[in-house]
């Protein structure tokens, strides 16, 4: 498991404390209770805080699953490198 | 606090259960992270409560306040921003700038503040209002530019200052300190434009966390410390008096010891506000006598009490001072320049706040003084605060004149005691509320009240409130006892009873019961007693009254009370609702 995925898992656990850790990799708004627009904003803010990055507003619409966010962060990490 | 920490705190608190504590957060913007941080800060301060934050309508502070139902709320928190006063003072709405609009912006701001003043005054009659006045920068709409203050900008700021000055006159309206906020959250780091435009939340995480922390502190409104015990050498003054002599110690700019002078100035201020100031110094008492003769001390050491000067350990000196004051270590701050002395006192009194006087470091001395100021910060200075030291001195003068159970009957009679008993449910009586929440020793059950809880209690139709104020020929003690309870079919039930330790041994507790029997014409009084770690005095008192002491709700009959009540000497003045 990459460092990014571990850190992202912690972000999801913070925003969705009822979500069992083994279900985090499959998390989407349709399967996670309480994943609404407010939760998305909170998730983005937590990710920005924990990763020390800024996320462009237009990128947020792609945050439709844990995997999508992980892909975004991985790509951003590659770009940053 | 970081956002991820706030979420973890909330998650942890959600499973803890406990009594519900509801707070309204009314803001014109989306509450978002401010709500999260406020929830977490309150959860940290009230770990045994279940926190609930209710919010108002987006973009309508006045409307949300108008429709607010105070019942069941502990407080309402309002982070007011410029945009709430006129939407043209924000960045989410377009088309309202330009020199022709400045006059109407000013007028609209003035009118909105007048409207809010009425709402805040109304709400604060029921619950505390915690308010931050505009914390975000004004938008760049003034023709002078931001590098220069122009007439319209200062006119708007003046409206806020006038508004703030008027609000501070209200007991239950608490304004967040703008300077402290500026220190913790610099203006340049407050506004998050991206968040404002994408989510309607204008605060950066740092600013949201800071505002929420300040609001939670004012909602909790913790009790101030009661006493400060200070070292002398290299703390109260610069130099070691035993080596240099009384004429060579200093506390001024000329001798590079201004920090000691400023510290003395703070002690003088605190003492005038009713804080107990004592001294624990390792010195020869005769040397200190020399300095007491100097008339240029900023804080006259004769006003410190007690002055414990000896070669014994500091912790023992501190213990003696606590005994004289009859207060607990957790209400006291100890200041010394020597880390070893601080460690020794801290080990002996783990709950005491022990702070080092950082001699030779002016910036750190200033920060210590700011910290001390905060630890002793209070809503207002009461009559009782100003009486405290003198009444302790007076009590101490009579130690040794009493018998085993307190003062002798002769002394009690000669003291010409007067007791004013007020049977009136006055929810605005801040002193009664303070006594209930800070008294430990003569406390029937240790029960504490929140402000809203106390208001609700007094609002119940079968409850009563009796307060007692005492004075004798040695001086007044002020309001020193509070009894609260209710009448039911069985008789009178006392549910809360506290009395200041300064008033012990004067048979005030007996006089209170005598007055209750008479006022309510009841045959029994039941006490909602619970043993706590510290309420030995009330336990002893009840044991002396009761025939049976092993019951959890002791009941006292009028006949039994008449049999055991000692002779009372008070001249009683009764005030009824």
CA distance B213 to B340: 33
pLDDT of residue B403: 46
Cβ distance B515 to B458 under 8 Å? no
Give the pLDDT band (50/70/90) at residue B481.
Answer: very high
Tell me the C-alpha distance between B39 and B37, whole Å: 5
Tell me how close the Cα of B172 comes to any Cα of chain A, in angstroms. 33
Q: Which helix (H) or strand (E) holds A56?
A: none
Residues of A whose CB is below 8 A from B2: 49
Give chain B's mean pLDDT: 91
pLDDT (tens digit per residue) in B407-458: 677 888 888 899 999 999 998 898 999 899 988 889 999 999 988 889 889 9
- Nearest-CB residue to A15 (from B7, B197, B201): B7
**Residues whose CB falls within 8 Å of the CB of residue B306, separated by 6 or more in sequence, listed in order:** B278, B279, B320, B321, B324, B396
Q: Which of B220, B236, B192 is nearest to B21 (CA)?
A: B220
What does the pLDDT average to over B244-253? 91
- B395 close to B306: Cβ distance less than 8 angstroms: no
Chain A hits for B194, CB-CB cut-off 8 Å, are 54, 57
**pLDDT tens digit sequence for B325-343:** 988 999 999 999 999 999 9
**Record: contact B11-A38, CB cut-off 8 A:** no
Q: How far apart are CA B460 and CA B451, in angstroms?
A: 15
Instruction: Give me the DSSP letters along B487-505.
Output: EETTEEEEEEEEE-GGGTT
Best mutation target among B7, B55, B202, B207 (most A Cβ atoms within 10 Å) is B7
| Residue B396: band (very low, low, confident or very high) from pLDDT cuts 50, 70, 90 | low
Q: By the 8 A CB rule, do B335 and B229 touch? A: yes
**Cα three-residue angle B375-B376-B380, rounded to 5 degrees:** 135
Q: In this structure, what token pair is assigned to residue B34? A: 């401010």
Structure tokens given for B342: 């601080």
- Give B171's pLDDT tier (boundaries 50, 70, 90): confident
Contact yes or no for B303/B277 (Cβ under 8 A): yes
Residue B404 has pLDDT above 50, yes or no: no
CA distance, residue B30 to nearest chain A CA (Å): 10
pLDDT range class, residue B385, cuts 50, 70, 90: confident
pLDDT exceeds 60 at position A79? no
Using CA of residue B292, residue B296, residue B302, residue B304, what is the dihedral sign?
negative
Residue-level pLDDT at B13: 85
Does the pLDDT of residue B193 top 70, yes or no? yes
| Closest by Cα among B31, B44, B329 to B202 | B31
β-bridge mates for residue B555, sequence order: B526
- CA dist B160 and B150 (Å) reads 16
Answer whether residue A81 shows pLDDT above 50.
no
The answer to whether residue A73 scores a pLDDT higher than 90 is yes
Query: Shortest CA distance to B423 belongs to which of B462, B468, B487?
Result: B468
* Spatial contact of B443 and B436, defined as CB atoms under 8 Å apart: no
> pLDDT tens digits for B114-156?
999 999 999 999 999 999 999 999 999 999 998 999 999 999 9
Classify residue B213 by burial, with Cβ atoms within 10 Å: 0-12, 13-18, 19+.
buried
Query: Which of B12-21, B185-194, B527-536, B566-575 shows the highest mean pLDDT?
Result: B185-194
* Structural element, H or E, at residue B78: strand B73-79
Nearest one of B40, B422, B458 to B212, comparing CA atoms? B40
Q: Nearest 5°: phi and psi at B228?
A: -130, 125
Chain A touched by B194 (CB under 8 Å): yes
Say what the ipTM of the complex is. Answer: 0.88
Cα B262 to chain center, whole Å?
24
CA distances to B32, B510, B538, B567 from B514, rounded to whole Å, are: 56, 6, 17, 11
Structural contact between residues B234 and B335, judged by C-beta atoms closer than 8 angstroms: no
| Residue-wise pLDDT tens digits, A21-70 | 999 999 999 999 999 999 999 999 999 999 999 999 999 988 999 999 99
Query: CB A41 to CB B201 under 8 A?
Result: yes
Q: Quote the CA–CA distance of B519 and B558 in Å, as a whole number.
A: 12
**Residue B400: what pLDDT?**
45
Task: Write down the residue that tokens 């008479």 correspond to.
Answer: B518
User: Do B287 and B241 form a contact (C-beta atoms < 8 A)?
Assistant: yes
């Amino acid at each position: 498991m990459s460092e990014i995925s571990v850190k992202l898992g912690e972000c999801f656990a913070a925003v969705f404390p009822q979500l069992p850790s083994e279900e985090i990799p499959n998390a989407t708004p349709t399967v996670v209770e309480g994943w609404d627009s407010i939760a998305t904003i909170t998730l983005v803010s937590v990710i920005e805080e924990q990763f020390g990055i800024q996320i462009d507003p237009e990128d947020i619409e792609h945050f439709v699953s844990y995997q999508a966010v992980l892909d975004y962060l991985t790509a951003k990490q590659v770009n940053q490198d | 606090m970081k956002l991820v920490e706030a979420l973890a705190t909330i998650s942890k608190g959600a499973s803890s259960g406990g009594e519900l504590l509801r707070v309204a957060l009314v803001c014109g913007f989306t509450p978002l992270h401010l709500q999260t941080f406020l929830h977490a800060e309150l959860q940290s301060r009230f770990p045994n409560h279940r926190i609930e934050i209710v919010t108002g309508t987006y973009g309508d502070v006045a409307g949300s306040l108008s429709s607010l139902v105070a019942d069941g709320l502990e407080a309402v928190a309002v982070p007011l921003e410029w945009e709430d006063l006129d939407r043209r003072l924000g960045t989410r709405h377009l088309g309202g700038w330009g020199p022709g609009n400045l006059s109407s912006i000013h007028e609209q701001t003035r009118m909105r503040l007048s409207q809010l003043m009425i709402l805040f005054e109304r709400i604060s009659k029921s619950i505390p209002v915690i308010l931050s006045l505009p914390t975000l920068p004004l938008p760049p709409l003034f023709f002078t530019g931001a590098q220069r203050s122009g007439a319209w900008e200062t006119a708007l700021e003046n409206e806020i200052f006038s508004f703030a000055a008027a609000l501070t006159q209200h007991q239950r309206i608490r304004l967040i300190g703008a300077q402290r906020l500026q220190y913790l959250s610099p203006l340049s780091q407050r506004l998050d434009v991206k968040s404002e435009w994408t989510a309607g939340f204008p605060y950066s995480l740092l600013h949201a966390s800071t505002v929420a922390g300040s609001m939670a502190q004012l909602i909790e409104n913790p009790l101030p410390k009661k006493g400060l015990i200070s070292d002398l050498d290299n703390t109260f003054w610069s130099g070691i008096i035993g080596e240099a002599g009384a004429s060579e110690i200093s506390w001024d700019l000329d001798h590079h010891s201004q920090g000691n002078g400023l510290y003395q100035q703070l002690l003088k201020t605190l003492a005038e506000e009713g804080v107990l100031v004592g001294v624990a110094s390792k010195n020869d008492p005769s040397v200190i006598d020399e300095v007491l003769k100097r008339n240029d001390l900023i804080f006259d050491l004769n006003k410190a009490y007690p002055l414990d000067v000896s070669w014994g350990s500091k912790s023992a000196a501190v213990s003696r001072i606590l005994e004289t004051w009859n207060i607990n270590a957790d209400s006291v701050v100890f200041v010394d320049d020597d880390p070893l002395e601080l460690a020794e006192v801290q080990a002996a009194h783990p709950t005491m706040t022990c702070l080092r006087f950082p001699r030779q470091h002016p910036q750190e001395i200033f920060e210590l003084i700011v910290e001390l100021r905060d630890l002793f910060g209070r809503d207002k200075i009461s009559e009782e605060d100003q009486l405290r030291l003198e009444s302790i001195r007076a009590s101490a003068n009579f130690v040794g004149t009493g018998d085993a159970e307190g003062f002798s009957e002769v002394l009690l009679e000669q003291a010409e005691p007067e007791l004013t008993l007020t049977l009136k449910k006055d929810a605005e009586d801040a002193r009664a509320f303070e006594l209930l929440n800070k008294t430990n020793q003569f406390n029937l059950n240790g029960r504490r009240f929140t402000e809203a809880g106390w208001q609700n209690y007094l609002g119940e139709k079968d409850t009563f409130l009796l307060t007692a104020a005492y004075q004798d020929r040695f001086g007044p003690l002020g309001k020193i006892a509070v009894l609260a309870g209710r009448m039911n079919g069985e008789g009178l039930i006392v549910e809360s009873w506290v009395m200041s330790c300064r008033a012990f041994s004067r048979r005030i507790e007996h006089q209170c019961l005598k007055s209750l029997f008479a006022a309510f014409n009841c045959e029994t009084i039941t006490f909602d007693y619970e043993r706590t770690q510290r309420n030995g005095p009330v336990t002893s008192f009840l044991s002396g009254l009761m025939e049976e002491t092993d019951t959890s709700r002791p009941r006292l009959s009028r006949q039994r009370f008449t049999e055991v009540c000692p002779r009372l000497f008070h001249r009683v003045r009764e005030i009824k609702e």
